[in-house]
Structure 1
Amino acid sequence: MSVISEESVRGESVFKDISADDEDSQPTEIESLCMNCYQNGTTRLLLTKIPFFKEIIVSSFSCDNCDWANTEIQSAGRIQDQGVCYTLKVQSKQDLNREVVKAECATTRIPELDFEIPPFTQKGSLSTVEGLIDRAVAGLEQDQPARKATDPEVANKIDEFIEKLRKLKDVEDEFTVVIEDPSGNSFVENPVAPLKDEALTVSRFERTVQQDMQLGIRADDDPEKEPDSNTVEAMRNEVLVFNTNCPECNAPASTNMKLVQIPHFKEVVIMATNCDSCGHRTNEVKSGGATEELGTKITLRITDPSDMTRDVLKSETCGICIPELEFELGMAAVGGKFTTLEGLLKDIKDLIVAKNPFVTGDSGVTTRLQKLVEFGEKLDKIVAGETSVHFILDDPAGNSYLQNVYAPDPDPEMTVEKYTRSFEQNEDLGLNDMKTEGYQEEN
């Protein structure tokens, strides 16, 4: 049995990137009991990393006696700060080939059939949309022989439902697949990246107390506490430090948190994490105020390299658009950030190109990879001031900000519009009592 050394925990991670060039990265083999024939088989364990899914443990069991086999994926990474919900409109057979990372704690739903796979009833998997349907069919078929013997009427109804599931793969009619994961570790492929996926909607949500308990990050007898007013006042006057784990190597790290007043704007909470073990650094921004009555759309015409030094506050509810590149990024793709325009563009490049798990490595498609490389080169030209484009921040909560370098005078290259949120935007923000109107320009 291999032993995890102190150096592995605090220095180089035991979770390796998948690479055909790394001959030393071999799975661990363990003799284990076959639950089908109750003779000994072999379990193989591989500790690795997949972008967006963090660290994972891939386990594969095979039995030479009865030929039974089983493969599972378990998340070994940290639980994310927010849960994630993917809603996919399956409109063609190509959508069935989208790759899906589904965590064990995720709930899968197909609303058109009133069908739901509850959390913790299936192991985590790396599959496709078609694979999810096949797995659901296999689960329903498993006990059908016993049902037909004891309750033929129920068995016939299940057979009819299985046939409906199978017909979904013909995609004669559009249907919806919803994956809701409170851990935030599931992922659905966007095959047209870096362009906006019109068929896929991604939203983030705060976990409930019950979901925290299910994930094991809150004790059953731990009540939900309200923040103390003295604690909030202390945050305004000092930097608060608390212990966390690095999101990359999982080594112990420290997170600094501070309430900051941005000139000509509002108060925000800035959180920064630095890891001494691997050097990873992150920063995240949360709005310190309430949701504004009107949304905000900020449009900047980038004409000079000096524009890259402008301060940007992008809240977690803000979307990004660059019309000249036909690029649009939804509010959930990049979290809240307080950085410069150059820093934000580099973060977008890392997210779309460098950290996309389905277009790099062995799973990469040549044409798709080429498009992303070209997109990254276009972003580099914008940062270098070689390309003039319009950069748009669209925040329905009104909590984003782009520095006016001419303040207090108007900025000739920047426009700010205030608008009334649509019904769908109110749904995303949990504000369903707002009216739906068009844009209203700020005076």
Structure 2
Amino acid sequence: MSGINEDAARGGDVIRDIGTDDDWQPTEIESLCMNCHQNGMTRLLLTRIPFFREIIVSSFSCDHCHWSNTEIQSAGEIQEQGVRYTLKIKTKQDLNREVVKADSATTRIPELDFEIPPYTQKGSLSTIEGLLERAVSGLEQDQPARREADPEVAASIDEFIQKLQKLKDVEEEFTLVIEDPSGNSFVENPMAPQKDEALTLTRFKRTNEQDRRLGLRADDDEGDNENDGEEPAGSDLETMRSEVLVFDTNCPECNRPAKTNMKLVSIPYFKEVIIMATNCDICGHRTNEVKSGGATEKQGTKITLHITDASDMTRDVLKSETCAVLIPELEFELGMGGLGGKFTTIEGLLKDVKDLIVNKNPFVSGDSGVSDKIQKLSEFGAKLEKIMAGEMDAHIILDDSAGNSYLQNVYAPEPDPEMKIEKYTRTFEQNDDLGLNDMKTEGYEQEK
């Protein structure tokens, strides 16, 4: 990456905030070219990937030697869990999907037994086709020297390059897997907000080694994660029940110092949960996050509510970070981890869904908008508004494989005629996502 001239950056923010009138104008900084050591230009743009999060796109170009490079960095923090995207590529159109690949991500194509290890490439914003071309370019780079030193190895690599090139014709279906322990990689779902049958997103618990490589754990720290998610013990638990704990943190929006309040709350007819609320006095950002106060339940829980009246919007909802949200009438599914853990109402949850899918989506307005996508998302937002107003018959489903989500029964302690609660046995894959397959856990099937 090019060296940044501090004088050029002084006098204003290097990155402009999202939401300002000049969102899409990059910041230009005169920078030192690391190829010819003349001055070139670095352009930085803080942008939001739809249905994902903020990233920094940086591009450097030098008019003297014409050297250039482009890379991306996450503008947010390392996520609580890693992500694994598995995409079945069936048509050439799938090659146009946008991909954010962090430098901590591993890329695999199982059919070719091909793998790009983490930290061997800079982060990139590209397409599936762009990833294949980048892999080909990397293999071709040293081929002339290999042909001189070891013709047999060079011939084998030439043969493998042909196989990679052939993938771009998509004559046969193949699989692309992107696994990122930082949780900051992304593969586009062109069918959003509907579910993409070809794309599977799973979240996983990082290993100690992955934490060390991400700088989250000291090199000599061999501690384990056995107590993650468990209740605090003894006096700490009593303190959390009796008072609000306050501790210093950084605002997730502007990264300025802020305060986070934490309280252990008992929900009637359910369990105790930990609610954490962060308020930033500088930028006004407010957020709340919910953590289960107990262990993962032996069975998953699926809660289905038939929304029949606008008064249903006031029902309390506890959505854990392991809970998926579905609205069958809109063919909508928000996977596990979407929106994080929340304690809110039905109306608040639907508003958060609308903000995520429509209001905070930069591709809905401006030159970057695509007319059919704009219309599709606008119609989705209008239907959500009708549901919130009680003008559209709909069902909302909370599917939590950890069993730690809750929806208020307004008829309690009597059964709710509009709400159905189902307990189910988790599959092997669901326990794998929850990090339970290495534990002696009852109530699930060991199936592959």
Runs of 5+ in structure 2 lacking a partner? 1-6
CA distance in 2, matches of 1:361, 1:113: 41
Matches within 5 A, 1:304-323: 304-323=309-328
The residue aligned with 1:440 is none
Does 100-109 or 212-221 show the bigger shift?
A: 212-221
Counterpart of 1:27, as a letter, is E
CA distance in 1, matches of 2:319, 2:298: 18
Matches within 5 A, 1:389-428: 389-428=394-433
Contact 1:393 1:400 in 2 (8 A): yes
Indicate yes or no: 2:136 matched with 1:137. Answer: yes
1:290 counterpart (279, 284, 295): 295
1:302 counterpart (293, 301, 307): 307
Indicate yes or no: 2:229 matched with 1:229. Answer: no
Matches within 5 A, 1:182-261: 182-224=181-223, 229-230=233-234, 231-261=236-266
How far 1:19 sits from its partner (Å)?
8.2
The residue aligned with 2:166 is 167
- Residues 98 and 57 of structure 1, relative CA distance in 2, 3 Å threshold: closer
SS at match of 2:33: strand
The residue aligned with 1:178 is 177
CA distance in 2, matches of 1:235, 1:223: 29
How far 1:112 sits from its partner (Å)?
1.7
Instruction: Give CA deviations for 1:234-290 in whole Å, capped at 9, x if unaligned.
Output: 333332323222222222222222222111001212122111111111111122222
The residue aligned with 1:79 is 78
Contact 2:299 2:444 in 1 (8 A): no
The residue aligned with 1:268 is 273
Counterpart of 1:106, as a letter, is A
The residue aligned with 1:331 is 336
CA distance in 1, matches of 2:434, 2:25: 48
The residue aligned with 2:116 is 117
Indicate yes or no: 2:389 matched with 1:378. Answer: no
Contact 2:204 2:433 in 1 (8 A): no
Contact 1:108 1:116 in 2 (8 A): yes
Does 51-60 or 152-161 show the bigger shift?
A: 51-60
| Residues matched between the structures, number | 428
- Residues 54 and 242 of structure 1, relative CA distance in 2, 3 Å threshold: farther
Counterpart of 1:299, as a letter, is T
The residue aligned with 2:93 is 94
How far 1:47 sits from its partner (Å)?
4.3
1:42 counterpart (40, 54, 68): 40
CA distance in 2, matches of 1:55, 1:246: 17
SS at match of 1:415: strand
SS at match of 1:177: strand
Counterpart of 2:98, as a letter, is E
CA distance in 2, matches of 1:330, 1:53: 15
Counterpart of 1:313, as a letter, is L
Runs of 5+ in structure 1 lacking a partner? 438-443
Contact 1:41 1:61 in 2 (8 A): no
Counterpart of 1:350, as a letter, is D
Does 178-187 or 365-374 show the bigger shift?
A: 178-187
Instruction: Give CA deviations for 1:115-135 in whole Å, capped at 9, x if unaligned.
Output: 111121111111101101111
CA distance in 2, matches of 1:70, 1:221: 36
The residue aligned with 2:60 is 60
CA distance in 2, matches of 1:85, 1:138: 25
CA distance in 2, matches of 1:426, 1:183: 20
Does 371-380 or 422-431 show the bigger shift?
A: 422-431
Does 254-263 or 122-131 show the bigger shift?
A: 254-263
Does 117-126 or 225-234 show the bigger shift?
A: 225-234
CA distance in 1, matches of 2:115, 2:164: 12
How far 1:201 sits from its partner (Å)?
1.4
CA distance in 1, matches of 2:431, 2:79: 24
- Residues 410 and 278 of structure 1, relative CA distance in 2, 3 Å threshold: same
CA distance in 1, matches of 2:117, 2:25: 38
- Residues 21 and 234 of structure 1, relative CA distance in 2, 3 Å threshold: closer
- Residues 108 and 232 of structure 1, relative CA distance in 2, 3 Å threshold: farther
Contact 2:27 2:45 in 1 (8 A): no
- Residues 285 and 62 of structure 1, relative CA distance in 2, 3 Å threshold: same
SS at match of 1:367: helix
How far 1:4 sits from its partner (Å)?
5.3
SS at match of 1:136: helix
- Residues 18 and 133 of structure 1, relative CA distance in 2, 3 Å threshold: farther
How far 1:140 sits from its partner (Å)?
0.8
How far 1:342 sits from its partner (Å)?
0.4
Instruction: Give CA deviations for 1:180-228 in whole Å, capped at 9, x if unaligned.
Output: 2222222211101110111111122232232222222333234537767
CA distance in 2, matches of 1:4, 1:85: 39
How far 1:78 sits from its partner (Å)?
2.3
The residue aligned with 1:441 is none
Contact 2:24 2:45 in 1 (8 A): no
Contact 1:106 1:120 in 2 (8 A): yes
CA distance in 1, matches of 2:57, 2:64: 23
CA distance in 2, matches of 1:20, 1:160: 51
Contact 1:258 1:269 in 2 (8 A): yes
Contact 1:18 1:49 in 2 (8 A): no
The residue aligned with 2:126 is 127
SS at match of 1:27: strand
